Structure 1
């Protein structure tokens, strides 16, 4: 009887999780092989050019560099604060005896036992905790860039644009990992109400993330742009 209750949880939740993992494995391969066809690779290339331009003309653009990095730190700080607050809330729910921990057995599918309920909340807690760690490390690297990007470029200077770009990329990679962990927690939040919603939400997130991660180029649009430029020059 207990296996029958857990059947949907054992099948649908790992299936939805593997769907998200499979998509991100494909995305990682795409970024490694064809970076300019993804938003992540295109933005990484632009950030390297940005660091080089900021450090090359540091006297005129130092304020712009600091303000841009400050906005990045503020965004990561907001997400880190949100993650740790959710961790505190989940920890309070796990250690409490409130009725919120007791789902409506007639309204949802899947297992309703104490072990399965604890597994749901502990999984969410761990994901938000790892997300917080990624955001915190991202803030650390971007803070380092905030100082190094204003270093004067001398012949004997060890702080080169390439070194600063590598630090900035580490910060943004950690920020991206934190974002993806935060997104992965959204389907698991629905696990409280049953495994069916987890699977449906995971499958729905894949095409949404695909449209946000891939750069779509239209050959027809490029031809039209060239024609418009030619007509404008005439």
Structure 2
């Protein structure tokens, strides 16, 4: 009980931060249930499905498909390498508890410079980077599968090599890439937590606000803007015309 009392500020800040992120994703799930393209992730899923169908039904575009997937794999490989470097750096921090805990908490109020708490914070950060590395590695693995599948002629394909099946595998690769990127973003509040609980709370709130702006698709924002313009009895430019240039 004395240990919990000593770390009460950090526990409360961590709980509030986790609940705020959970509440945001619950809100997002409700929106996606009504409109699958409410988020940019839903738009990307639709685009991948149509792209795979277009490539597999037009053999002349096979080279373009392979080049696109190569760029995808290169990006995932770069991010996996970055996650590996961050894992090594975080492991280095775990051995510096006695030296830097007090100096890093100089701006913190209501927190303790305990070496045990420092190890817990570093371990949370380490787990986040490991999740990112695993997700990016799985993204590379699934994209490598798609490289071979996407050039199979549709009329000769097994049912597991149909455009729909290949699109699902590519979507899984995209999902793993998104998980890796989210892990990087969630690492930001954890890094601020090293300086104190109030920094964690502020960074978590800022992250939720940023994700809310980034996750919504452009079409959703355009529809909201169009509605406000209509209320002012002003002419509305169609969305298609905006992107036709």
Normalising by structure 2, what TM-score?
0.84
Taking a change above 3 Å as real, the CA distance of residues 74 and 102 of structure 1, as seen in their structure-2 partners, is: farther
Aligned to 2:74: 74
Aligned to 1:232: none
How far the C-alpha of 1:106 sits from its partner, in A, is 3.9
How far the C-alpha of 1:93 sits from its partner, in A, is 2.3
Q: Structure 2 CA distance, aligned partners of 1:225 and 1:96?
A: 58
Q: Structure 1 CA distance, aligned partners of 2:38 and 2:90?
A: 39
Q: Structure 1 CA distance, aligned partners of 2:38 and 2:78?
A: 29
Q: Which has the higher contact order (CA 8 A, sep 6+)?
A: 1
User: Which runs of structure 2 are paired with 1:206-217 in the superposition (5 Å)?
Assistant: 206-215=208-217, 216=221, 217=223
Q: Which runs of 5+ in 1 are unaligned?
A: 230-234
Aligned to 2:142: 141
2:231 corresponds to 1:219: no
User: Which runs of structure 2 are paired with 1:1-234 in the superposition (5 Å)?
Assistant: 3-58=4-59, 60-96=60-96, 99-109=99-109, 110-155=111-156, 157-158=158-159, 159-215=161-217, 216=221, 217=223, 218-220=225-227, 224-225=236-237
Q: Structure 2 CA distance, aligned partners of 1:156 and 1:105?
A: 61
2:98–2:115 CA contact under 8 A, matched in 1: no
Give the match's secondary structure for 2:154: coil
After TM superposition, the structure 1 stretch with the greater mean CA deviation from structure 2, 73-82 or 89-98, is 89-98
2:56–2:151 CA contact under 8 A, matched in 1: yes
1:31–1:40 CA contact under 8 A, matched in 2: no
How far the C-alpha of 1:199 sits from its partner, in A, is 0.5
Q: Structure 1 CA distance, aligned partners of 2:19 and 2:46?
A: 30
Q: Structure 1 CA distance, aligned partners of 2:63 and 2:57?
A: 14
Q: Structure 1 CA distance, aligned partners of 2:79 and 2:194?
A: 23
How far the C-alpha of 1:98 sits from its partner, in A, is 6.8
Normalising by structure 1, what TM-score?
0.88
Q: Structure 2 CA distance, aligned partners of 1:42 and 1:206?
A: 21
Would you say how many aligned residue pairs link Structure 1 and Structure 2? Answer: 226
